[in-house]
């Protein structure tokens, strides 16, 4: 717009922001007592979430709360969780990626199979963006894994240069299908495999995603699944099929909320990290 004809002083901007209800955490001035009920509710799904994750979750509930208030709540009502988080030790490993969409790392997660749930994810290691995180009753079907990949590139409108996974027959369709797509786009790649099979524990980006999920998301879901008041058995075909029909869509919806939270959250700055520090969605764009 024409800045010589139209202007907006900072005072007027603050007035507009206040009228729209877009206030900052200091202006809202929430105290520990104001977030107790929200924290009790959030801890049912995210029992181990740290203050940064809690701050983001409270923002989803239209509450801008300062870091000081959240930490004060945790030290007052959750001292055991605070001590448990302080005792953790970071293990550093090096992973190389040339840039955005250079590598797509995929992996399956079997720790919830005792409940009849099999998870699968795809991660861009450069941006840290979770491309997909899907749940079904199996993650060993090669066609299903390739379907996840096709849904992803159809949504994005582009594909990566190389895919990467653990060795295993469930990734054969993905390896062959991605190589075919890349060869169709670039004739010089004909006869090459545009997929990397990594040795055990070397496909690190998805393992990091699973570790974070196990810490921040899974405990709340396991509390729901382990409800002793519900008489449910995976060995009962009728109960298991009803469970798949009812619970899996709900679980997928909760996963989508978790993935959106991860992809829109800015990473904590690290002096030893040379990758961008913004939210994964912003870096990916």
50 three-state secondary structure: coil
Q: Is the pLDDT of residue 160 over 80?
A: yes
Burial (0-12, 13-18, 19+ Cβ within 10 Å), 214:
middle
CATH class of the domain at 103-284: alpha beta
Q: Is the pLDDT of residue 1 over 60?
A: no
For residue 22, the 8-state DSSP code is -
SS (H, E, C) 129-153: EEEEEEEECCCCCHHHHHHHHHHHH
First CA to last CA across the chain, in angstroms?
Answer: 25
Rounded to whole angstroms, the Cα distance separating 181 from 159 reads: 9
Rounded to whole angstroms, the Cα distance separating 196 from 163 reads: 6
pLDDT tens-place string over residues 220-246: 888 888 876 777 777 888 888 888 899
pLDDT the model gives residue 275: 66
Which one has a higher pLDDT value, 46 or 133?
133
pLDDT tens-place string over residues 204-224: 899 989 998 998 888 888 888
pLDDT band at 274 (very low <50, low <70, confident <90, very high): low
Nearest Cα to Cα of residue 234 among 118, 136, 120, 113: 113
Q: Is the pLDDT of residue 90 over 50?
A: no
Q: Can you state the percent helix, strand and coil of the chain, rounding each to 5? A: 50, 10, 40
pLDDT over 90 percentage in the chain: 39
pLDDT the model gives residue 82: 81
Per-domain boundaries in the chain = 10-86, 103-284
Out of 60-74, 161-175, 232-246, the most confident range is: 161-175
pLDDT tens-place string over residues 145-157: 999 999 999 999 9
- Report the mean per-residue pLDDT for the chain: 86
């Amino acid at each position: 717009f024409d800045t010589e004809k139209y202007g907006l002083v900072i005072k007027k901007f603050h007035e507009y922001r206040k009228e729209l209800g877009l206030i900052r955490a200091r202006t809202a001035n929430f105290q520990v007592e104001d977030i107790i009920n929200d924290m009790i509710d959030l801890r049912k799904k995210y029992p181990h979430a740290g203050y940064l994750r809690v701050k983001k979750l409270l923002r989803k509930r239209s509450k801008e709360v300062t870091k000081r208030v959240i930490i004060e709540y945790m030290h007052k009502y959750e001292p055991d969780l605070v001590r448990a988080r302080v005792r953790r030790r970071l293990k550093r490993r090096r992973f190389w990626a040339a840039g955005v969409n250079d590598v797509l790392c995929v992996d399956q997660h079997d720790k919830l199979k005792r409940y009849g749930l099999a998870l699968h994810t795809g991660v861009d290691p450069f941006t840290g963006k979770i491309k997909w995180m899907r749940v079904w009753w199996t993650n060993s079907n090669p066609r299903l894994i390739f379907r996840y990949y096709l849904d992803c590139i159809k949504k994005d409108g582009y594909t990566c240069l190389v895919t990467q996974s653990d060795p295993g027959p469930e990734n054969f369709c993905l390896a062959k299908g991605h190589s075919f797509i890349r060869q169709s786009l670039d004739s010089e790649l004909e006869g090459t495999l545009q997929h990397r099979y990594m040795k055990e524990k070397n496909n690190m980006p998805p393992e990091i995603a699973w570790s974070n999920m196990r810490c921040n998301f899974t405990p709340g879901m396991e509390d729901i699944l382990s409800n002793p008041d519900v008489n449910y058995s995976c060995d009962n075909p009728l109960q298991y099929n009803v469970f798949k029909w009812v619970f899996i869509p709900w679980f997928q919806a909760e996963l989508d909320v978790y993935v959106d939270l991860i992809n829109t959250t800015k990473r904590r700055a690290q002096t030893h990290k040379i990758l961008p520090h913004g939210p994964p969605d912003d870096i990916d764009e």
